[in-house]
Amino acid sequence: MCGATEGGLSLDGIDVKKEAVVQGQVLRDGEPVGNAYVRLLDRTGEFTAEVPTSASGHFRFFAGDGDWTLRTLAPKADPVDRQVHAQVGSVAEVSITI
């Protein structure tokens, strides 16, 4: 995929050909969750990075090629893990429902 989904994060200024982008949105009951955290874990489960979601529930990581786990932490919700594959030259769009 070469662009963000409709209503998603803008890729303006990002050279997708040189990056492995993992981005998406955290939702609860179809509504964005703006007070969550998304962690990026490597294939061994080791913590790599963490970002807060925006008011619209969006997040973005620049990752290396390979398989990753996104762990979402939010108030009043159990942690949710999602597997994702990152590859230079593409954008991995992920929707996470808590």
Question: pLDDT for 69-91, tens place per residue?
Answer: 999 999 999 999 999 999 999 99
Average pLDDT score over residue span 52-79: 96
Reported confidence tier of residue 7, pLDDT bands at 50, 70, 90: low
| Secondary structure of residue 94 in the 3-state scheme | strand
Per residue in 16-27, pLDDT tens? 778 899 999 999
Domains of the chain, residue spans: 16-97
For the chain, give the mean pLDDT.
89
Kindly tell me the sign of the dihedral angle through the C-alpha atoms of 43, 58, 36, 80: negative
- Centroid of chain to Cα 17: 18
**Taking the domain 16-97, which CATH number applies?**
2.60.40.10
Average pLDDT score over residue span 48-63: 96
pLDDT for 12 equals 76
Q: Residue 94: exposed, middle, or buried by beta-carbon count in 10 A (0-12, 13-18, 19+)?
A: middle
Q: Rounded CA gap, 34 and 52, in Å?
A: 8
Reported confidence tier of residue 4, pLDDT bands at 50, 70, 90: very low
